Amino acid sequence: MEFRDVVRTRRMVRGYDPDRLVPADLVDRILTHATHAPSAGFSQGWAFLVLETRETLDSFWAATTPPGAASRWLAGMRTAPLIIVPLAHKDAYLDRYAEPDKGWADRDESRWSAPYWYIDTGMASLLMLLTAVDEGLGACFFGIPPQRLAAFREAFGVPDAYAPIGAITFGYRAADRRSASLKRGRRPLDEIVHRGRFHPAA
């Protein structure tokens, strides 16, 4: 696929063919592409929890959704045969930037203009979303509710030092409904681009 088509046709897919598994080589390609994301100081402070058996997928939904929860969204998302949870590892950044070539030996978080551990893990996530499109798959990035994080960690043995920035479902697309949020429309460039100087909206 042309890169511009990958970018422009990508959209979050919330319903999958439950009978078509994602082949192992494709799962590996998605994960390998994630590692090509840029990272501050090449810290690569990320990890990826891969869930692809019925048992682990069921455990994910049980941990991250309230008991008895039922919705069209959940019914569609549960059809995904693969979930990858991108985890941000802040300590990898604090350690990396304490090395002599960076010199922030105090590991002071106020030195960071933005939490690069989340940014880089987000970049890796986007590469996985784009790889899915390129490979003819659908995918959806979504949040894990804060009140379900403890149950999620417990279910999969994820240490506190690793923060899930969300989760991504993958699979072959089934008919699904587009997000209601899209009614907002894509913001035009002249509203968001500030050439030469920031121009407040009139």
Ligand X SMILES: Cc1cc2nc3c(=O)[nH]c(=O)nc-3n(C[C@H](O)[C@H](O)[C@H](O)COP(=O)(O)O)c2cc1C
Taking the complex as a whole, how short is the minimal distance between the CB of residue 147 and ligand X, in angstroms? 14
166 touches ligand X (CB under 6 A)? yes
Smallest separation, CB 105 to ligand X (Å): 33
60 versus 97: smaller Cβ distance to ligand X? 60
Nearest-CA neighbor of 6 among 138, 165, 148? 138
Q: Whole-angstrom Cα distance, residue 27 to residue 31?
A: 6
AA identity, residue 77: M
Q: Does 41 bind ligand X (CB under 6 A)?
A: no
Residues 6+ apart with CB under 8 A from 195: none
CB 148 within 8 A of CB 43: no
What phi, psi does 89 have (nearest 5°)? -115, 90
Site for ligand X in 8-37 (CB under 6 A): 11-12, 14
Q: Which 115-154 residues touch ligand X, going by CB under 6 A? A: 140-143
Which of residues 104 and 142 has its CB atom nearest to ligand X in the complex? 142
> What is d(CA 14, CA 95) in angstroms, rounded to the nearest whole number?
38
Binding-site member from 20, 179, 194, 199 for ligand X (CB under 6 A): 179
The residues that touch ligand X, with contacts defined as CB under 6 A, are 11-12, 14, 140-143, 166, 179, 181-182
